[in-house]
Amino acid sequence: MPEKFKGKVALVTGGSSGIGKATALAFAAEGAKVVLAARREREGARVVEQIVGAGGKAHFVRTDVSIEADVDAMVRQTVSRFGRLDYAFNNAGVGGGGGPIHEAESADWDRIIDINLKGVWLCMKYEIAYMKEQGFGAIVNNSSTAGLAGYAGNAIYAASKFGVNGLTMSAAVEYADQGIRINAVCPGWTMTPMVGEADAAESERESQALDETPQKRFAAPEEIAEAALWLCSDAASFVTGVALPVDGGLLAQ
């Protein structure tokens, strides 16, 4: 099979499950050496075993993306282990904090913004610093359709993802002439562990969202991974600063 990322190195945060795991496996299947970063060591180690068992190369780094020292160490270990950093998929994120704004808790704001927004900023800060020296790199940030349209009942999450898109577009312009492309992928409803563990109220909202999605189904994590890999690939060499919906037509209507 073709290996369009052979000899390259990809870093995936939140790589222990869901979209992150699917993307790590997809990079490895295309020949990349993969570094997975996540907080859950056991799950991350299993993904590494799966990649290595299939003949690939992978390494796990325990990382909390909201902690600057962890992110710095993550990038340093990636370069130390494999000698370079070509692609980064900044995927780590959390949900929660749902409900009307006037009932929201400050703790929810701090937790969601720290991981979803500050975490992406920290990852880009250290990834770009290395990619500048290398003169090449492609970064994809995992955002959401909630970062492209209002999301009643989950404003904190939406604010974090609007922020991710703003960071993505600003950084793309800032580094476009330095060989670094930066884009975001914006999934619609995707069948991840976060969705599977939803409570009854959340499940009712998900049922409504499914009805509103023109393709009448959830995305598989692998479908989001394919979009992320395309944005990293040479096929997207003139694409930067894009927040790409992968949503089954949700935003189109």
For residues 27 and 10, is the Cβ–Cβ distance under 8 A? Answer: yes
b/e burial code for range 187-209 (CB count within 10 A of at least 16 → b): bbbbebebbeeeeeebeeeeeee
One-letter identity of residue 110: D
What are the catalytic residues? 157
Closest to 146 measured CA to CA, from 178, 186, 192: 186
DSSP alpha helix (H) spans, 30-154 = 41-53, 68-82, 106-112, 119-134
Helix or strand or coil: residue 184?
strand
Tokens of 185: 């992928």
d(CA 24, CA 16): 9
Phi and psi, residue 184, nearest 5°: -130, 145
For residues 210 and 217, is the Cβ–Cβ distance under 8 A? Answer: yes
Q: Using only the alpha carbons of the chain, give its radius of gyration.
A: 17
